[in-house]
């Protein structure tokens, strides 16, 4: 697998470099050039990511497509990249979603077009960097740098309370990540000067140190996931972000938090992870059940989907801290599936918002009469969001519930309530927005989806269906890596 | 009787050269025609600074190859640390000259006096970082301080400037007094003024002498005044606010580099034997500075005052590295101070660029909608702000990383966590600037006029903030470490 070892660098730097080029097309006359260039960049980004899937060796848990260069000698920092079964799919997911976001912005964003597109492309590269970095400082660099474009996206192109949301988002995440930085520096000292994540996995640590490290990483990743009770930035950020921002937030950045648990918390502090699993499971279940009820009470569509995201991410963290392979794989499948479904949900809301400029559920009703094609997709994705079998939403939830059943019946019971709650809040929203009589003149004037929107929604629908019917290609990729991780965690670091 | 050869004058070539340049420019200023005076003086000063940089480099070659070299019977030293610091401060003075030209000309302050005072101050700073004797240290400090007082007062018709200069002068003189008093006690205890002799004496016999501890308190207080750390920070906001922006920039960049050199020579070298004692004092100063600097900055509406409080918090960070008391710590602080002066050059450079004739862009609202007025300049300011907040990939992050690593190494975990929390508070007011630039509508719609030289220099400056931390290989961090290792 060492043959094409420049691939990962390409997935990071192609979008970033194209993004910087787009930034130069800032004149009004160059808007279309900027759009074409950005689309080209995002497609190129996906093209360079596809060989990862083709060339990936499913039978190995080791890092693949490895790149390693000495970078900052003074602190023994390396430019080290690699993917395993846990991270590979997210690179693809991110590269794919970036294309959707660029298309979604095509006509909608008309101010500071080049900056908007450039921000998304640069962020796409940085997010790929987060998933493939195997050096802790490199990881941290991408992890933090990502905040800058996201802050600007929410703050410049967002809704009325955008500045509040952007600042809240930034400061919440910054506090978490700086605590993580402190933990990384501590580990650097313990390992006698290494920032290699693999070294952190191996280094023996006492229980107190493990607990503190676990909590420091937890502070960082729990905010990103987000877990209850540090989730409050997410509804604000989602509601105020432009459609593209919401899509990237829900589909990708939330996954980074969960990915962090698998890459840092559990292998570096396995005994602490066991000791604190009760807390993690409790927080996850609260997110699933309580936030599910909160979603039920929303009158704003974006807020509803945002709360639904928190609830679904609760499934992911629940799966992880069950410490069995169904749980973790189920969590991973749920992450990918939620990446598709939440992206689709936010795109659907975007389609309506672009036409009516309202996100209130009460501003709609009877959309099916004027937008039949759109209604088809909206209902389909709503079904997927509530976990209908044969859609990808079902697979992950089912696996996690199975995993939970092995550990404790009541965990499984509580988690399973989401099948009811999820269906309740999603379908109720669909009923109020899509079905019924035409509610007002705005709805009467609606035009159905154009081909640009159709392409986005159809491609996501196909993926959701494919993953729901035949999830094997996805689980095959992660299987060996997850088993290796579980073995490592089971060994522990004490004694 | 000492011969000229024993004085070892040649290693002071850069300083002597700079002094000659100052005299030449002084004469030129007197006898030249007014029309070309500004251009010629600026050109002369910049060429002179560049030549001085070359000369610093050449002079230090031997010192780097073998051991530090001494002149004037051990009063003056040339080593790798002095070389790096001198180059850093010379570069920042040269950049400052480019940035301040338009600003000062519009206010009729771009005169021979300004350039001469600036160069005198530079000379003082060079003496400071090369000093190996308490008297030389003090001499350098006073050359710097007296020139700076005069520079702050240069705009004599402005009441704010005069007030700032007055405050700066009185408090600065007090600080010098404290410092001298402390030095005299150290002299009383050790019988030496030579840095290495003091160090030896403390190490071998007098580590616990109360006279030393007593002197130490005064020395630390004096240094704290000069650096502007809490609780000796009262002058900082007023002086930053009142002084013409180029002078503020000078105080916030080059002179901080020199102050670092001073601090390390005294605490890290001469008083290294008493590390345990000054460490506790610095912990208190750093903790207070981080809190006061970051929290009060939030309430500021004047950007120069805001940056003044930001400086206070950055100086707190600088002290964190020094209080580690290790070579890693000094190196981290050295890297920090050089990075900081890069950022502050950029930030103040942009403030000067936005100011016009009769208009100071020093209210934070003046930055509103900068992205609409000029995306390019907004991007540069964004770089500076995120770097100051310590967000990667900018240099400010690597500086914080280096300092925190050094502090954690000596076991001050709580201090690291504290510094981290304070950084989050600090990030808020940097974010606010970014928010104003990108998310608000402009109030001021006048076109932004700036010379090509200035635009280019600003771009290079921002580029440096972006890449200096990212440089592969040894980089600036490695250079700082080897400089400290070979010099102390």
Out of A152, A162, A175, name the one closest to residue B424 (CB): A175
- Interchain CB contact of A228 with B (< 8 Å): no
Q: Is the pLDDT of residue B1 over 60?
A: no
Q: What is the mean pLDDT of chain B?
A: 87
Top-confidence residue, A74 or B140: B140
The two tokens of residue A253 are: 């950045």
- How many CB pairs (< 8 A) connect A and B? 102
Cβ under 8 Å to B: A residues 41-80: 69-75, 79
- Interchain CB contact of A189 with B (< 8 Å): yes
pLDDT score of B87: 92
Nearest Cα to A98, choosing from A86, A79, A116? A116
Where does residue A13 rank: exposed (0-12), middle (13-18), buried (19+ CB within 10 A)? middle
Helix ranges (DSSP H) in A191-263: 197-202, 207-224, 233-240, 243-248, 254-260
Q: Which residue of A has its CA nearest to B481?
A: A74
The mean per-residue pLDDT over the stretch A181-194 comes to 87
Distance separating alpha carbons of residues B434 and A22, to the nearest angstrom: 21
Q: Which stretch of A197-201, A338-342, B91-95, B289-293 has the lowest confidence by average pLDDT?
A: A197-201
Q: Cβ–Cβ of B408/A178 closer than 8 Å?
A: no
ipTM of this predicted structure: 0.86
Cβ contacts of B351 within 8 Å, gap of 6 or more: B245, B303, B304, B361, B362
Q: Which residue of A has its CA nearest to B482?
A: A74
Out of B404, B427, B438, name the one closest to residue A174 (CB): B427
Query: Is residue A71 within a helix (H) or strand (E), and if so which, with residue range?
Result: strand A64-72
Top-confidence residue, A127 or B70: A127
In this structure, the number of other CB atoms found within 10 A of the CB of residue A185 comes to 24
Q: Is the pLDDT of residue B372 over 60?
A: yes
Q: Cβ–Cβ of A148/B386 closer than 8 Å?
A: yes
Out of B382, B405, B421, name the one closest to residue A188 (CB): B405
- Interchain CB contact of B475 with A (< 8 Å): yes
Q: Is the pLDDT of residue A395 over 70?
A: yes
Helix ranges (DSSP H) in B327-394: 327-354, 370-373, 375-389
N-to-C CA span, chain A: 36
Out of B371, B431, B439, name the one closest to residue A162 (CB): B439
pLDDT score of B320: 92
- Interchain CB contact of B324 with A (< 8 Å): no
Taking the CA atoms of residue B404, residue B408, residue B412 and residue B413 in that order, the dihedral angle to the nearest 10 degrees is 90
Out of A152, A155, A186, name the one closest to residue B408 (CB): A186
In this structure, the number of other CB atoms found within 10 A of the CB of residue A36 comes to 12
- HSE at residue B284, side-chain half, CA atoms within 13 A, is 10
Q: Is the pLDDT of residue B63 over 80?
A: no
Give the C-alpha distances (Å, rounded to integers) separating B184 from A188, A276, B211, B221. Answer: 43, 58, 10, 14
CA distance B398 to chain A (A): 10
* % of chain B residues with pLDDT over 90: 37
Mutate to test the interface with A, among B327, B397, B405 (most CBs of A within 10 A): B405
Distance separating alpha carbons of residues A17 and A401, to the nearest angstrom: 43
- Interchain CB contact of A192 with B (< 8 Å): no
Q: B203 near B285, Cβ under 8 Å? A: no
Question: What is the three-class DSSP state of A299?
Answer: coil
N-to-C CA span, chain B: 30
At residue A65, φ and ψ (nearest 5 deg) are 55, 40
Specify which residues A68 forms β-bridges with.
A80
Mutate to test the interface with A, among B439, B469, B476, B484 (most CBs of A within 10 A): B439
Out of A74, A170, A182, name the one closest to residue B420 (CB): A182
Give the C-alpha distances (Å, rounded to integers) separating B393 from A73, A293, B371, B398. Answer: 17, 40, 21, 8
Q: Which residue of A has its CA nearest to B434?
A: A152
The two tokens of residue A469 are: 């019917």
pLDDT score of A1: 42
The mean per-residue pLDDT over the stretch A66-85 comes to 84
Taking the CA atoms of residue A478, residue A480, residue A482 and residue A485 in that order, the dihedral angle to the nearest 10 degrees is -140
Q: What is the mean pLDDT of chain A?
A: 85
Q: A2 near A66, Cβ under 8 Å? A: yes
pLDDT, tens digit (0-9, with 9 covering 90-100), for A135-148:
999 999 999 998 88
Q: Is the pLDDT of residue B124 over 90?
A: yes
CA distance B394 to chain A (A): 9
- Interchain CB contact of A137 with B (< 8 Å): yes
pLDDT score of B51: 92
Q: Cβ–Cβ of B431/A79 closer than 8 Å?
A: no
Q: Which residue of B has its CA nearest to A178?
A: B420
Question: What is the three-class DSSP state of B356?
Answer: strand
Distance separating alpha carbons of residues A11 and B77, to the nearest angstrom: 51
Torsion sign across C-alpha atoms B228, B230, B232, B238: positive
- Interchain CB contact of B467 with A (< 8 Å): no
In this structure, the number of other CB atoms found within 10 A of the CB of residue A61 comes to 19
Q: Is the pLDDT of residue A33 over 50?
A: yes
The mean per-residue pLDDT over the stretch B90-105 comes to 90
Mutate to test the interface with B, among A178, A184, A215 (most CBs of B within 10 A): A178
Where does residue A29 rank: exposed (0-12), middle (13-18), buried (19+ CB within 10 A)? exposed
pTM assigned to the model: 0.90
Out of B391, B438, B472, name the one closest to residue A147 (CB): B391
Query: Is residue B436 within a helix (H) or strand (E), and if so which, with residue range?
Result: helix B413-439
Tokens 């640390």 appear where? B81
CA distance B381 to chain A (A): 13
Q: Is-cis flag, bond preceding B4, omega within 30?
A: no
Compute the C-alpha angle B325/B331/B337, nearest 5°.
105
- Interchain CB contact of B421 with A (< 8 Å): yes
pLDDT score of A495: 61
The mean per-residue pLDDT over the stretch B324-343 comes to 91
Give the C-alpha distances (Å, rounded to integers) separating B135 from B127, B138, B166, B194, B487. Answer: 11, 5, 26, 8, 20
Q: B228 near B315, Cβ under 8 Å? A: yes
Q: Is the pLDDT of residue B114 over 60?
A: yes
pLDDT, tens digit (0-9, with 9 covering 90-100), for A468-481:
888 888 888 888 88
The two tokens of residue A255 are: 């996954």
- Interchain CB contact of A166 with B (< 8 Å): yes
Q: Cβ–Cβ of A163/B475 closer than 8 Å?
A: no
pLDDT, tens digit (0-9, with 9 covering 90-100), for A140-169:
999 999 888 888 888 888 777 788 888 888
- Interchain CB contact of A395 with B (< 8 Å): no
Q: B467 near A65, Cβ under 8 Å? A: no
Out of A74, A155, A162, name the one closest to residue B477 (CB): A74
The two tokens of residue A96 are: 């794919």
DSSP states of B238-254: HHHHHS-HHHHHHHHTH
Q: Which stretch of B100-114, B222-236, B330-344 has the lowest confidence by average pLDDT?
A: B100-114
Question: What is the three-class DSSP state of B348?
Answer: helix
User: Residue A260's Cα: distance from chain center in Å?
Assistant: 12
pLDDT, tens digit (0-9, with 9 covering 90-100), for B411-441:
888 898 899 889 888 888 898 899 888 888 8
Give the C-alpha distances (Å, rounded to integers) separating A168 from A179, B430, B438. Answer: 17, 14, 16
Q: Cβ–Cβ of B439/A178 closer than 8 Å?
A: no
Distance separating alpha carbons of residues A485 and A302, to the nearest angstrom: 36
* % of chain A residues with pLDDT over 70: 99
Q: Is the pLDDT of residue A55 over 60?
A: yes
Mutate to test the interface with A, among B380, B435, B476 (most CBs of A within 10 A): B435
| Local confidence band at A2 (pLDDT 50, 70, 90 cut-offs) | very low
- Interchain CB contact of B375 with A (< 8 Å): yes
CA distance B366 to chain A (A): 18
Q: Cβ–Cβ of A74/B401 closer than 8 Å?
A: no
Q: Which residues of B touch A167 (CB under 8 A)?
A: 428, 431-432, 435
Out of B392, B404, B438, name the one closest to residue A141 (CB): B392
Q: B238 near B165, Cβ under 8 Å? A: no
Give the C-alpha distances (Å, rounded to integers) separating B461 from A212, A258, A287, B152, B278. Answer: 39, 38, 47, 25, 35
Question: Where is mean pLDDT largest: B87-96, B107-116, B367-376, B431-440?
Answer: B87-96
| Local confidence band at A453 (pLDDT 50, 70, 90 cut-offs) | confident
Q: What is the CA radius of gyration of chain A?
A: 22
- Interchain CB contact of A176 with B (< 8 Å): no
In this structure, the number of other CB atoms found within 10 A of the CB of residue A471 comes to 19
Q: Which residue of A has its CA nearest to B383?
A: A148
Mutate to test the interface with B, among A27, A72, A211 (most CBs of B within 10 A): A72
Q: Which residue of A has its CA nearest to B397?
A: A141
Q: Which residues of A touch B382 (CB under 8 A)?
A: 148
Write the Ramachandran bin of B72: left for phi over 0, alpha for psi from -120 to 50, otherwise beta: left
The mean per-residue pLDDT over the stretch A311-330 comes to 88
* % of chain A residues with pLDDT over 90: 4
At residue B181, φ and ψ (nearest 5 deg) are -60, -45
Out of A26, A181, A189, name the one closest to residue B420 (CB): A181
- Interchain CB contact of B459 with A (< 8 Å): no
CA distance A146 to chain B (A): 9
The two tokens of residue B217 are: 């308190």
Q: Cβ–Cβ of B427/A70 closer than 8 Å?
A: no
Q: Cβ–Cβ of A144/B397 closer than 8 Å?
A: yes
Question: What is the three-class DSSP state of A241?
Answer: coil
Q: Which stretch of A200-204, A237-241, A461-465 has the lowest confidence by average pLDDT?
A: A237-241
Q: Is the pLDDT of residue A103 over 80?
A: yes
The two tokens of residue A235 are: 């509804």
Distance separating alpha carbons of residues A281 and A267, to the nearest angstrom: 18
pLDDT score of B206: 61
Q: Is the pLDDT of residue B331 over 70?
A: yes
* % of chain B residues with pLDDT over 70: 98
Out of A71, A171, A182, name the one closest to residue B417 (CB): A182
Q: What is the CA radius of gyration of chain B?
A: 22
Q: Cβ–Cβ of A144/B420 closer than 8 Å?
A: no
């Amino acid at each position: 697998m060492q043959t094409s070892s420049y691939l990962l660098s390409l997935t990071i730097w192609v979008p970033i470099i194209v993004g910087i080029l787009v930034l130069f097309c800032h004149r009004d006359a160059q808007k279309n050039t900027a759009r074409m260039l950005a689309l080209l960049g995002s497609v190129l980004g996906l093209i360079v990511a596809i060989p990862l899937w083709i060339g990936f060796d499913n039978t190995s848990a080791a890092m693949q497509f490895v790149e390693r260069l000495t970078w900052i000698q003074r602190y023994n920092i390396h430019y080290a990249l690699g993917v395993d079964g846990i991270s590979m799919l997210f690179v693809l997911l991110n590269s794919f979603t970036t294309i959707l976001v660029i298309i979604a912005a095509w006509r909608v964003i008309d101010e500071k077009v080049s900056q908007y597109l450039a921000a998304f492309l640069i962020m796409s590269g940085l997010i790929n960097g987060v998933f493939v970095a195997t050096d802790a400082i490199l990881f941290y660099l991408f992890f933090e740098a990502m905040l800058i474009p996201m802050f600007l996206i929410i703050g410049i192109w967002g809704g009325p309370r955008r500045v509040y949301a952007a600042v809240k988002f930034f400061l919440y995440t910054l506090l978490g990540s700086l605590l993580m930085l402190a933990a990384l520096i501590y580990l650097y000292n313990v390992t006698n000067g290494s920032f290699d994540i693999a070294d952190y996995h191996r280094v023996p640590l006492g229980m107190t140190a493990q607990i503190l490290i676990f909590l420091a990483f937890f502070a960082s990743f729990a905010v990103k996931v987000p877990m209850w009770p540090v989730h409050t930035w997410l509804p604000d950020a989602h509601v105020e972000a432009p459609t593209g921002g919401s899509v990237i937030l829900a589909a990708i950045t939330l996954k980074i938090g969960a990915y962090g648990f698998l890459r840092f918390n559990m292998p570096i502090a396995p005994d602490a992870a066991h000791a604190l699993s009760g807390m993690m499971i409790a927080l996850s279940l609260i997110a699933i059940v309580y936030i599910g009820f909160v979603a039920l009470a929303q009158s704003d569509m974006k807020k509803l989907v945002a709360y639904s995201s928190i609830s679904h991410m609760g499934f992911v963290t629940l799966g992880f801290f069950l410490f069995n392979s169904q749980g973790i794989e189920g969590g991973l499948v749920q992450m990918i599936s939620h990446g598709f479904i939440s992206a689709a949900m936010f795109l659907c809301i975007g389609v309506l918002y672009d036409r009516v400029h309202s996100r209130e559920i009460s501003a709609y009703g009877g959309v099916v009469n004027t937008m039949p094609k759109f209604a088809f997709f909206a209902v389909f994705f709503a079904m997927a969001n509530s976990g209908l079998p044969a859609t990808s939403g079902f697979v992950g939830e089912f696996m996690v519930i199975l995993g939970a059943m092995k550990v404790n019946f009541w965990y499984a019971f509580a988690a399973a309530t989401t099948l009811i709650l999820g269906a309740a809040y999603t379908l109720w929203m669909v009923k109020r927005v899509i079905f019924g009589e035409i509610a007002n003149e705005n709805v009467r004037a609606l035009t159905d989806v154009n081909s640009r929107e159709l392409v986005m929604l159809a491609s996501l629908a196909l993926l959701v269906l494919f993953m729901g019917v035949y999830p094997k290609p996805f689980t095959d990729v992660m299987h060996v890596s997850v088993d290796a991780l579980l073995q490592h965690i089971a060994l522990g670091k004490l004694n | 009787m000492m011969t000229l050869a024993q004085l070892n004058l040649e290693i002071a070539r850069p300083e002597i050269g700079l002094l000659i340049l100052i005299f030449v420019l002084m004469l030129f200023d007197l006898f030249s025609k007014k029309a070309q005076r500004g251009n010629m003086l600026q050109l002369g000063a910049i060429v002179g600074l560049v030549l001085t940089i070359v000369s610093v480099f050449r002079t230090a070659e031997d010192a780097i190859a073998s051991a530090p070299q001494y002149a004037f019977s051990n009063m003056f030293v040339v080593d790798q640390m002095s070389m790096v610091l001198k180059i850093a401060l010379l570069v920042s003075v040269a950049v400052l000259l480019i940035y301040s030209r338009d600003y000062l000309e519009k206010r009729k302050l771009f005169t021979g006096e300004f350039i001469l005072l600036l160069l005198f101050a530079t000379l003082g700073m060079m003496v400071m970082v090369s000093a190996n004797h308490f008297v030389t240290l003090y001499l350098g400090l006073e050359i710097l301080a007296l020139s700076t007082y005069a520079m702050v007062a240069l705009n004599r018709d402005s009441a704010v400037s005069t007030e700032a200069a007055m405050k700066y002068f009185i408090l600065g003189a007090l600080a010098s007094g404290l410092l001298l008093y402390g030095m005299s006690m150290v002299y009383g205890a050790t019988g030496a003024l030579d840095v290495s002799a003091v160090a030896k004496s403390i190490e071998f016999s007098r580590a616990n002498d109360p006279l030393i501890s007593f002197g130490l308190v005064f020395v630390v207080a004096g240094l704290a005044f000069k650096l502007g750390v809490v609780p000796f920070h009262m002058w900082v906001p007023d002086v930053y606010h009142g002084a013409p922006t180029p002078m503020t920039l000078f105080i916030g960049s080059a002179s901080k580099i020199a102050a670092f050199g001073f601090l390390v020579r005294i605490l890290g070298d001469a008083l290294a034997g008493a590390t345990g004692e000054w460490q506790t004092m610095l912990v208190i100063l750093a903790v207070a500075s981080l809190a006061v600097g970051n929290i009060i900055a939030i309430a500021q509406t004047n950007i120069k005052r805001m940056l003044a409080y930001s400086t206070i918090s950055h100086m707190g960070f600088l002290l964190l590295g020094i209080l580690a008391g290790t070579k890693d710590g000094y190196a981290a602080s050295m890297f920090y101070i050089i990075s900081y002066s890069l950022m502050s050059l950029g930030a103040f450079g942009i403030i000067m660029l936005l100011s016009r004739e009769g208009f100071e862009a020093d209210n934070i609202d003046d930055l509103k909608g900068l992205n609409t007025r000029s995306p390019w300049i907004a991007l540069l300011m964004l770089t500076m702000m995120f770097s100051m907040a310590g967000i990667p990939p900018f240099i400010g992050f690597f500086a914080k990383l280096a300092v925190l690593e050094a502090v954690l190494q000596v076991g001050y975990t709580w201090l690291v966590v504290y510094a981290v929390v304070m950084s989050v508070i600090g990030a808020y007011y940097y974010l606010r600037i970014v928010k104003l630039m990108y998310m608000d509508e402009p109030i001021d719609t006048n076109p932004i006029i700036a010379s090509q030289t200035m635009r280019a220099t600003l771009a290079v400056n921002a580029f440096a903030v972006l890449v200096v931390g990212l440089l592969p290989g040894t980089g600036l961090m490695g250079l700082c470490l080897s400089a400290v290792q070979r010099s102390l």
